[in-house]
Amino acid sequence: MQRVSVFGSTGCIGQKTVQLLLKNPNKYKVEVLTANSNFELLARQARLVNAKNVVIADKRFFRDLKESLFGTGINVKAGSEGLAAAASIPIDRAIIAIVGIAGLMPTMKIIESKTKIIALANKESIICGGELMLRKAKEHKVKIIPIDSEHNAIFQIFHSSYNLDKIVLTASGGPFLHLTYEQMKNVTLRDAMSHPIWKMGEKNSIDSATMMNKALELIEAQNLFAVGPSKLDVVIHPESIVHGVVSYKDGSNLAVLACPDMDIPISYALSWPRRSSIINKQLDLTKQKLTFFEPNYNQFPALKLAMEVLRSNTPHANSIILNAANEVATGAFVESKIGFLDIAKIVQEILAATKVTAGSFDSLDNIIDLDSNSRILAERLINSNYVSTRCTVAL
């Protein structure tokens, strides 16, 4: 029996994870489930899997959650202290499906507990935690298994960088693949949420539409596989069947092909180093068309920004800034404060306006500080009606 925790169990990835755990009740014992505000779903999940502890990050919902679980014996905690305490419980495998930089603190705490495997969907923590997080994971002998389908694929096939040509991340291209840059000017939140293939949470859907998702994934890949930006590439593959390719100089290409369903990488991360038999989603290659083409960097400037960040003198700092500005700008787009194309423009402005000298960060506090400062700058830019304003505040 493996003891597992799911941080962010009420989200898209979290719900899929809970469903997979329920299919295997004799294999997994759930120690912790967490959510931000959705106490009703969290309480339902906790009863279903008989969780030992639950945490609601937003303290305003503590009482509601407590009432919903009254008499069950399930421990209820709230806030960042609650998350930190839950993350410190040593278990066999932790699944991190929180969205945004909010996933970083619990991930760092889990690394410091005696938990040995982290199945990590939260790309923002890999991006912002950077060298610090990966070094700590190594020190504490924690295995990190990425759940993002592209990185999960590369994790499965990348065993040596000797004579590596490149690592290719595939991208569906999102809902606006066939629009021009001009045509994207007036797209709505609803348009941006209509991904042709993947069903995702709000932020990830918008990130896919701007292709900031692929930009973040380039940085995630560099952090996880450390091959250098010149060996990373993105190819558009609308069918999302090939998830990642590792090309060697001798002309061999290794790839992972699978149906576009997050159940597959999640179940791999739940079963690693074994393979799971709980899902049966076979690919019929005879019925499958596979197309590939180069991304248009002018249509999706986010990709260019990621490459600039990776090639800069301070890639870790710039990754934190890019992520923070994107989280703020995406939130502003959701609230109709800015247009769709402004998201990448704001990220670019904040990157250009922020002067950092430290290349990487040795503490979580320093990372959070840079993240907070970048958010303040992005919010100021948005509240000053954006367009012509240029931030000049140096950090």
Ligand X SMILES: NC(=O)c1ccc[n+]([C@@H]2O[C@H](COP(=O)([O-])OP(=O)(O)OC[C@H]3O[C@@H](n4cnc5c(N)ncnc54)[C@H](OP(=O)(O)O)[C@@H]3O)[C@@H](O)[C@H]2O)c1
Residues that bind ligand X (CB under 6 A): 8-14, 35-38, 57, 97-99, 102, 121-124, 148, 198, 200-204, 262
17 labeled binding residue: no
The residue type of 326 is N
73 labeled binding residue: no
CB of 74 to ligand X, least distance (A): 17
Residue nearest to ligand X (CB): 11
Nearer to ligand X, 99 or 309 (CB): 99
111 labeled binding residue: no
Q: Which helix (H) or strand (E) is 43 found in, with range?
A: helix 39-49
CB of 203 to ligand X, least distance (A): 6
Q: Rounded to whole angstroms, what are the CA distances from 11 to 7, 45, 186?
A: 9, 12, 28
CB of 385 to ligand X, least distance (A): 27
Q: How many residues does the chain have?
A: 395
CA-nearest of 220, 180, 219, 171 to 198 is 171
CB of 125 to ligand X, least distance (A): 8
Q: Rounded to whole angstroms, what are the CA distances from 176 to 288, 289, 299?
A: 22, 20, 10
Contact status, residue 35 vs residue 10, Cβ threshold 8 Å: yes
316 labeled binding residue: no
Beta pairing partners, 381: none
Nearer to ligand X, 15 or 314 (CB): 15
CB of 389 to ligand X, least distance (A): 28
CB of 44 to ligand X, least distance (A): 12
Helix orientation angle between 12-22 and 263-271, rounded to the nearest 10 degrees:
60
159 labeled binding residue: no
140 labeled binding residue: no
CB of 155 to ligand X, least distance (A): 13
Nearer to ligand X, 200 or 325 (CB): 200
172 labeled binding residue: yes
Q: Rounded to whole angstroms, what are the CA distances from 208 to 152, 173, 223, 310?
A: 18, 7, 20, 20
Nearer to ligand X, 100 or 229 (CB): 100
Instruction: Tell me the torsion sign for CA atoms 121, 124, 129, 131.
Output: positive
Cβ neighbour number for residue 14 with a 10 Å cutoff: 28
Contact status, residue 337 vs residue 181, Cβ threshold 8 Å: no
CB of 355 to ligand X, least distance (A): 28
Q: In what order do the strands lie in the sheet containing 75-78?
A: 75-78, 53-56, 28-35, 2-7, 93-96, 117-120, 143-146
CB of 130 to ligand X, least distance (A): 15
Nearer to ligand X, 46 or 356 (CB): 46
Nearer to ligand X, 203 or 375 (CB): 203
Q: With the CA atoms of 54, 57, 332 and 391 taken in that order, what torsion angle do they form, in degrees rounded to the nearest 10?
A: -140
Nearer to ligand X, 344 or 356 (CB): 344
366 labeled binding residue: no
Instruction: Tell me the torsion sign for CA atoms 31, 36, 39, 45.
Output: negative
149 labeled binding residue: yes
CA-nearest of 268, 284, 303, 286 to 174 is 303
Helix orientation angle between 315-334 and 202-210, rounded to the nearest 10 degrees:
110
208 labeled binding residue: yes
Nearer to ligand X, 12 or 347 (CB): 12
81 labeled binding residue: no
Nearer to ligand X, 125 or 373 (CB): 125
* Residue numbering of the annotated binding site for Mn(2+): 148, 150, 217
* Residue numbering of the annotated binding site for NADPH: 10-11, 13, 38, 122, 124, 201
* Residue numbering of the annotated binding site: 10-11, 13, 38, 122-124, 148-150, 172, 195, 201, 208, 213-214, 217
